Structure 1
Amino acid sequence: MAEETILETPRLLLRTWRDEDLDDHVWLHSQVDASRYLSRDGKPWTREEAASRMAGWVEEYRQFGITKLKLVRQEDGRFIGRAGFSLFAATGQFELGYAIAPEFWGQGYATEIAAALPGLVFDRNIRDEFIAFAHVDNAASLKVLEKIGMRYQHTGLMNGLLARVYAMSRADAAVPATGGLPAGL
């Protein structure tokens, strides 16, 4: 399968998965810090779990034209994580999510890609609203969701995690809540 660039930001490219990307995906989710807020037990993913998730995302892209995708830096093509949308089965809504490798934290990449993702779902007319959620202890991700203008909905169990749940509609995306993102993200 040929790789396709789905979204471009000033520093990042969001691309479709290829079979040979499995090792990068395993590397990302084998790190405790990258996986601690993504599952009930907070444990790193096994190779089988990573392969299963990646295969599911490939199928979601085929079915819906949107999914969680491979995130690379433009400057050197280095894999830094994943980002995008997945269908959240419990509610039938699309859920914005991302995971960045810890060595790339604190550089604004999560905010940069999260700020660009609403345009992707709305421009493709996938849905008029989507959700996102982050573990109540994941201060960095909660800050990103608020910074991009998502509206807090409630706190509750999501995939077995105590999480703060946010939503964004097409109307919300039309007028940035904070007057736009700061230069340099």
Structure 2
Amino acid sequence: MIVITETERLILKVFENSDVEAMKTFWGDREVMEQCNGAIPHEHLVKVQEGYSKCHDVNGLSVYAVVEKESGNVVGAAGFNVQDINEPVELIYHFAKSVWGKGYATESAMACVKYAEQHPKVKKVFASADPNNKGSLKILEKIGFDYIGMKWFDDTNQEEPYYEKSIK
């Protein structure tokens, strides 16, 4: 297990093949992904896991498995979609319904930003969320992201509130 960072209640680690089953509870769940372009078909989750693991190997930054320390279970994902490490990276977080309301998204997002601050090439992080996802928008403001305005996203085919945070 390659641990990236820890908080009081969570461990963020590089995704492993053994995490694919747990990924079904967030990325493979229709309700969890309702405002994020829909659930990922279960048969595609192995490729997602492999892609994020490779992204970490190449860039030293990726989306990571979030492990609840108390149970030892992977309960979500948090980290960065990286197109080009020299460009702003996108913060994302998704959690299984069973842990909604525990503050894990805020806790893991804060840990991710602190981790990005240590990366020599990351200068800016951005994030967006469905306009109806008030919880995610509140998290971004709580962890110090600045609201820039509405921006069109082709992947979700809609305008979304767009936030940024300068790292360096």
- TM-score over 0.5 (shorter chain): yes
Choose from 115, 118, 133 the match for 1:123. 118
Choose from 122, 137, 141 the match for 2:136. 141
Residue of structure 2 equivalent to 1:30:
28
The percentage of counterpart residues that share the same residue type is 27
The answer on 1:83 being equivalent to 2:81 is no
Choose from 16, 19, 27 the match for 2:17. 19
CA contact (8 A) 2:10 2:68 kept: yes
How many residue pairs were aligned?
A: 165
Choose from 57, 69, 74 the match for 1:74. 69
Q: Classify the secondary structure of the residue corresponding to 2:77.
A: strand
Gaps of 5+ in 2: none
Residue of structure 1 equivalent to 2:165:
168
Q: Deviations over 1:94-121 (max 9, x none)?
A: 1010001111111111111111211101
Residue of structure 2 equivalent to 1:180:
none
Report the RMSD for the aligned CA atoms in angstroms.
Answer: 1.7
The answer on 1:10 being equivalent to 2:39 is no
State the distance in 2 between where 1:73 and 1:85 align.
Answer: 19
Name which structure has the greater RCO, CA cutoff 8 Å, separation 6+. 2
Gaps of 5+ in 1: 172-185
Higher helix share: 1
How do 1:29-108 residues align onto structure 2 when only pairs under 5 Å count?
A: 29-39=27-37, 43-88=38-83, 92-108=87-103
CA contact (8 A) 1:88 1:94 kept: yes
Is 60-69 or 72-81 further displaced after alignment?
72-81
State the distance in 2 between where 1:27 and 1:117 align.
Answer: 21
| Aligned residue type for 1:146 | E
| Aligned residue type for 1:59 | K
CA contact (8 A) 2:56 2:62 kept: yes
CA contact (8 A) 1:72 1:81 kept: yes
The runs of 4+ residues in structure 1 deviating greater than 3 Å are none
Q: Deviations over 1:54-106 (max 9, x none)?
A: 222111101100100100111221211000111147x9421010001111111
With over 3 angstroms needed to count, the CA separation of the structure-2 counterparts of 1:147 and 1:61, relative to structure 1, is: same
TM-score by length of 2: 0.91
TM-score by length of 1: 0.83
State the distance in 1 between where 2:41 and 2:118 align.
Answer: 35
Report how far residue 165 of structure 1 moved.
0.9
Q: Classify the secondary structure of the residue corresponding to 2:164.
A: strand
